[in-house]
């Protein structure tokens, strides 16, 4: 399950993105149940993710696996693993800052360019290549890049 990639951000797995919540096997029946949480309620990629999960489980010998979708607690960008954040940055997608419980929520005044590292960036559009990303441009290197929206 951890190897299933996100269909919209092909460089990161659903585990690294924090969508994969649990994989449980019933000891009596051997039936596998996978629990996932979408990045947001209307995420259009969820049907593809469910199909990819079922395909991976079937290939692993679990053709009757159940895929459950839960919405509570709501997904947070804090669930993106450090490996996932590094993969996003390597692919030119600026990952959001991490906020831990009890911390002050930072106000994003600038997003560092994932290509050159400059904080001299500007948002071009609130909507990027997918609904969960915004389009930014670096004023230092002039490159456009996606920024995963903090949720």
Average pLDDT, integer, range 10-38: 95
Whose tokens are 């940055």? That residue is 89
Sheet bearing 20-25, strands edge to edge:
20-25, 32-36, 66-69
What pLDDT is stored for residue 52 in this prediction?
A: 97
Give the tens place of pLDDT for each residue, 89-100. Answer: 999 998 887 765
What pLDDT is stored for residue 136 in this prediction?
A: 93
Cα gap 131→135, rounded to integer Å? 10
Angle at 142 between CA 137 and CA 147, to 5 degrees: 25
| Residue 147 · residue 94 · CB < 8 Å | yes
- 95 contact partners, CB below 8 Å, separation of at least 6: 77, 80, 84, 85, 88, 89, 148
pTM of the model: 0.75
């Amino acid at each position: 399950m951890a190897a299933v990639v996100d269909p919209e951000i092909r460089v990161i797995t659903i585990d690294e993105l924090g969508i994969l919540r649990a994989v449980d096997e019933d000891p009596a029946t051997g039936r596998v149940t996978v629990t996932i949480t979408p990045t947001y309620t209307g995420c259009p990629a969820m049907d593809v993710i469910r199909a990819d999960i079922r395909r991976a489980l079937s290939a692993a010998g679990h053709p009757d696996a159940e895929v459950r979708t839960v919405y509570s607690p709501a997904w947070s960008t804090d669930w993106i693993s450090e490996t996932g954040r590094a993969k996003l940055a390597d692919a030119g997608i600026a990952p959001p800052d991490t906020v831990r419980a009890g911390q002050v929520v930072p106000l994003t005044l600038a997003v560092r360019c994932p290509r050159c590292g400059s904080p001299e960036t500007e948002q071009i559009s609130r909507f990027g290549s997918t609904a969960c990303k915004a389009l930014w441009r670096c004023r230092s290197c002039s490159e456009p890049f996606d920024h995963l929206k903090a949720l």
